[in-house]
Structure 1
């Protein structure tokens, strides 16, 4: 089995962490090459997602100093998922296996060894999964675990405690290339590819430098994007709620008629106000969910490119 490995690392304003990330990955790739686990043609590719700082300049400097490092410069910021896809689709012709990871050094790079071992055993997709959240605050742990549970409950099936740290074989990448949707949520799409899968557990560390690119607000937006991109369950829930309210309205009609014929015709003000506000809120919520889906249909029909690569630095440049 061939063993050319490419690491794909999306970067957005990562000038503070890139030098240290490159140093650690250079040592790791050197060790793997010495151990004959990967071919000497293996590379590390940083994907610059329209950074506003010196990220791309640092990537070019790394490439000039060491051909182990390459770079992809997107023409404009397209978001983490599109940047990651751009890297995966660009390098799949050069690599036998590709590992995606973040640039902030929170993912344990020593888990790469286990991923490669499972690939050598014939596994097409190996997920990096956090072994615990002992270092997280109670709030962070509750919101993070709630994120995964809510995603799965709403029909967007994902791997629990897995982000985008994973190994994919060339065959798996070819399968991923057949998914052409504009609204990307790779954590949900990759499990849909099929093929043999396995997991490697690791302890996630602290961010080496810089600020998190996924605060609470962005995580919530990310969850909504994933749910509405992969599942129609929210639409079905609206239908179920509508049917329930219809049943309740029939009950209220019968109740009102009974009150009328028994002479008790004064309807409680509290009941009326609660009903108006509850039904009004449900209508607005339903319109918002439907609008979210309509917006995604609009984007899909436009068929705009998910990314445009301005420059690709490889070993020959």
Structure 2
């Protein structure tokens, strides 16, 4: 039988973690009882620098049940790095790994169906939400815009899929070969090329606590996804530069013809507008190019993705 490890990134999740662990342990126990997975199957919770009682709850859970293990970061390194840390530890012994957020808005009852697809020969099973009823209008609209934008830029994402997924050992080992620091996991996994399927589920509201992804973080996450997986923004800047240059040539020809025909008109408005527009294009261009240079700087330094303060279990 195959060993299953469930990886949970957690940041200030003291309000939901006890019920989350109870529910996930029950799901694993049911699979063990049905002789679907190995009795050594476990859960790894990665404490991403929490400031509340998250780590003490993980410690207490491990004392009650050895199937719960924990990794504690020295500070907050981010959700994606927490996932990588959990998978790096899990892949040492597990045959199949499921990642799911601590708030359980993604339905954990879909895990048995994911496991059965894995046993049938599928390496990656995506958990895909079949509705966005719990989202605000803004979040629903911005999410759809995000997926459409990335598709236009050539990045193939699984729409309405976040980080709830099952991966086989070899799929995780291949993912961990991607060493970039600016990691966008949900964009890289479809690039791995292994056999994949989808499981649809209904997303539910948080049981307690508040979202760890406010608007500012969501926008930063989306921008990181675009710049990590596509150079299309830089090419767009190039096209805008070419277009602006062509307009400049046309304006130059127009001014010569106007002067030759004696139709020159003195106007400061058009001059100032053109200066501000071109100046804006230049600032935007420098900003986008600077973003890529900054990412290159981060990658060449090869700093560690995270620092582990302690482990348990």
Q: Work out the CA distance in 1 between the residues paired with 2:292 and 2:61.
A: 42
Structure-2 residue corresponding to 1:197: 196
Task: Say whether 1:256 aligns with 2:255.
Answer: yes
Any gaps of 5 or more consecutive residues in structure 2? none
Q: What displacement does 1:95 show?
A: 0.4
Structure-1 residue corresponding to 2:268: 269
Structure-2 residue corresponding to 1:136: 135
Specify the SS of the correspondent of 2:66: coil
Structure-2 residue corresponding to 1:171: 170
Q: Work out the CA distance in 2 between the residues paired with 1:147 and 1:174.
A: 28
Task: Say whether 1:225 aligns with 2:224.
Answer: yes
Q: Work out the CA distance in 1 between the residues paired with 2:289 and 2:256.
A: 35
Q: Work out the CA distance in 2 between the residues paired with 1:171 and 1:164.
A: 18
Larger mean CA deviation between 149-158 and 233-242 belongs to: 149-158
Structure-2 residue corresponding to 1:146: 145
Q: Work out the CA distance in 2 between the residues paired with 1:18 and 1:209.
A: 10
Larger mean CA deviation between 138-147 and 3-12 belongs to: 138-147
TM-score, length-normalised on structure 1? 0.96
Structure-2 residue corresponding to 1:286: 285
Number of residue pairs aligned between Structure 1 and Structure 2:
313
Is the CA contact 1:119–1:169 (under 8 Å) kept in the aligned structure 2?
Answer: yes
Specify the SS of the correspondent of 2:310: strand
Q: Work out the CA distance in 2 between the residues paired with 1:267 and 1:170.
A: 72
Larger mean CA deviation between 41-50 and 22-31 belongs to: 22-31
Q: What displacement does 1:267 show?
A: 4.0
Structure-2 residue corresponding to 1:158: 157
Where in structure 2 are the equivalents of 1:11-50 lying within 5 Å? 11-50=10-49
Q: Work out the CA distance in 2 between the residues paired with 1:155 and 1:277.
A: 32
Q: What displacement does 1:190 show?
A: 1.1
Q: What displacement does 1:246 show?
A: 1.1
RMSD: 1.2
Deviations 1:232-255 (A, max 9, x none): 111111111111111111111111
Q: Work out the CA distance in 1 between the residues paired with 2:309 and 2:49.
A: 10
Greater than 4 Å deviation, 4+ residue runs: none
Is the CA contact 1:129–1:201 (under 8 Å) kept in the aligned structure 2?
Answer: yes
Structure-2 residue corresponding to 1:181: 180
Structure-2 residue corresponding to 1:86: 85
